[in-house]
Amino acid sequence: MGRSQAALTFGSNLSDFDVERVRADFPILSKRIYDRPLVFLDSAASAQKPQAVIDAVRHCYEDEYANIHRGVYYLSAQATLAYEAARAKVQRFLNAREDREIIFTRGATEAINLVASSYGGTFLKEGDEVVLSALEHHSNIVPWQLLRDRMGITIRVVPINDAGEFLLDEYEKLLGPRTKLVAVTHISNALGTVTPVAEITRLAHAHGAIVLLDGCQAVPHQAVDVQTLDCDFYTFSGHKLYGPSGIGALYGKADLLQAMPPYQGGGDMIRSVSFEKTEYADIPQRFEAGTPHIAGAIGLGAAIDYVTALDQEKIAAHEQALLAYATDRLSGIPGLRLFGTAREKASILSFTIDGAHPHDVGTILDRAGIAVRAGHHCTQPVMDRFGIAGTVRASFGLYNSFDEVDALAAGIEQVKEIFG
């Protein structure tokens, strides 16, 4: 099936979303791997960067770099303005009420650790319960285990069904008077499952619990409105949103952030310091100790500009069409088993092939120029749920095409020929 026919069949209007024009914005996509055109299907791990982001980072270092907030000279003032403008872009992107509700972090991992350490370490006590789901990335499991080991909290886990769907009824049964915090993924990085975050949040609040949502896989694929969701914390990583690595953001309701003690101590998070006493800065600086990733924040702002200019609704429609087409193509391959067949899911396909180890599949596809992820995807509990060690994961971004889905299917056929 050709690209135009596939687009028509699976609902993507190429006149609304010109993927070839978009692809031209990403320099790395013209690269050849083993003399084959690169087919990059690993955006769930880390997305490629458009020229606009690369240029923004280069401009920062070439034309306006200096440390921020403390300098009284021109370059420092310009860098400070650019850094704080990026914070305002994140605020608008998530529809937070105020830009001081946006904390820059190294990524979602640090953001979750910040909440676990600062909020959890202050407001939770022995016997309190934190509810997670069986879909969670290790980054939303281990910080709560560290808190459990330190403070004696209890972790409870919402199960998933065979389709990889979050079981809302089971979740509601877990909520009780000891439930103090719910921390769940918005979209599963291993299966693509979209969880019912609005209802999850509503039920948690009805039991007096606060909610943290891991939005790493959500923000590249759909618009997020934290005020509508009414979540208490929301986090994402820049490198999955076509921005630089080493930068991310934590949204937190202002009253919660103001009540939380600093996560780290150092420069820029203080009002005054003496050997007798330290007075801490207001939010957001209170949680941004030391020199931050200035160019990273500016690059993240450029990535947000890029994504919003393309129109998130059009991106979502294109990616859903890709997902439908890829699901149809791969479902018809004998010996291939899909994991994660939720009714609501993002553009992620996890699968195994009979008789072939996922790492072998990934290696063979690599020789054909196709980049996929193979392994447990930092979600070992998900793999345990299905009784497997790992999967091959193909994840689609805004720059992927129907032709690349065809290339993936052809590569899988080569795998099957090798393994019989």
pLDDT digits (tens, 9 = 90+) for 154-203: 999 999 999 999 999 999 999 999 999 999 999 999 999 999 999 999 99
Q: The domain spanning residue 9 has which CATH number?
A: 3.90.1150.10
DSSP secondary structure letter of residue 118: I
Could you tell me if 41 and 159 lie in one domain?
Answer: no
In sequence order, which ranges of 107-167 are alpha helices (DSSP H)? 108-114, 121-123, 142-151
Which residue(s) pair with 182 in the sheet? 131, 211
Q: How many Cβ atoms are within 10 Å of 35's Cβ, its own excluded?
A: 6
pLDDT digits (tens, 9 = 90+) for 66-124: 999 988 999 999 999 999 999 999 999 999 999 999 999 999 999 999 999 999 999 99
DSSP secondary structure letter of residue 18: -
Tokens of 250: 């934590």
DSSP secondary structure letter of residue 6: H
Could you tell me if 286 and 320 lie in one domain?
Answer: no
Indicate if 231 belongs to the active site: no
Give the CB-side neighbour count of residue 298, counting CA atoms within 13 A.
24
Could you tell me if 202 and 240 lie in one domain?
Answer: yes
Could you tell me if 166 and 301 lie in one domain?
Answer: yes
> What's the pLDDT band for 9 if we cut at 50, 70, 90?
low
> Do residues 31 and 409 lie in contact, with contact meaning Cβ atoms separated by under 8 Å?
no
Tokens of 375: 């392994």
Gap between the Cα atoms of 364 and 367, Å rounded: 5
Could you tell me if 66 and 29 lie in one domain?
Answer: no
Could you tell me if 198 and 212 lie in one domain?
Answer: yes
Tokens of 361: 């599949």
Nearest in space to 166 (alpha carbons), one of 131, 142, 138: 131
Q: Give the model's pLDDT for residue 13.
A: 53
* Side chain identity at residue 380, one-letter code: Q
Nearest in space to 351 (alpha carbons), one of 338, 366, 335, 340: 338
Domain count, the chain: 2
Q: Is the pLDDT of residue 1 over 60?
A: no
Q: Cα–chain-centroid distance for residue 73?
A: 37
Could you tell me if 178 and 114 lie in one domain?
Answer: yes
Could you tell me if 293 and 168 lie in one domain?
Answer: yes
Nearest in space to 174 (alpha carbons), one of 134, 124, 218, 141: 134
At 210, which helix (H) or strand (E)? Answer: strand 210-214
* Residue 284: φ, ψ to 5°: -90, -15
Q: How many helices (H) and strands (E) does the chain have?
A: 16, 17
Instruction: Quote the pTM value.
Output: 0.96
Q: Is the pLDDT of residue 65 over 60?
A: yes
Domain boundary among 256, 278, 308: 308
Gap between the Cα atoms of 75 and 390, Å rounded: 49
**Residues of the chain with pLDDT > 70: what percent?**
96
Could you tell me if 289 and 396 lie in one domain?
Answer: no
Q: The domain spanning residue 247 has which CATH number?
A: 3.40.640.10
> Do residues 235 and 287 lie in contact, with contact meaning Cβ atoms separated by under 8 Å?
no
Mention every residue, 6+ apart, whose C-beta is less than 8 A from residue 347: 192, 221, 319, 320, 322, 323, 326, 395, 396, 397, 400
Domain boundary among 273, 308, 343: 308
Domain boundary among 272, 293, 308: 308
> Do residues 232 and 213 lie in contact, with contact meaning Cβ atoms separated by under 8 Å?
no
Q: What share of the chain is helix, strand, coil (3-state, %, to 5)?
A: 45, 20, 35
Q: How many Cβ atoms are within 10 Å of 273's Cβ, its own excluded?
A: 12
Residue 376 domain boundaries: 3-47+311-419
Could you tell me if 265 and 393 lie in one domain?
Answer: no
> What's the pLDDT band for 16 if we cut at 50, 70, 90?
confident
- For 395-417, give the DSSP string: E--TT--HHHHHHHHHHHHHHHH
Could you tell me if 203 and 122 lie in one domain?
Answer: yes
Could you tell me if 281 and 329 lie in one domain?
Answer: no
Q: Give the model's pLDDT for residue 5.
A: 58
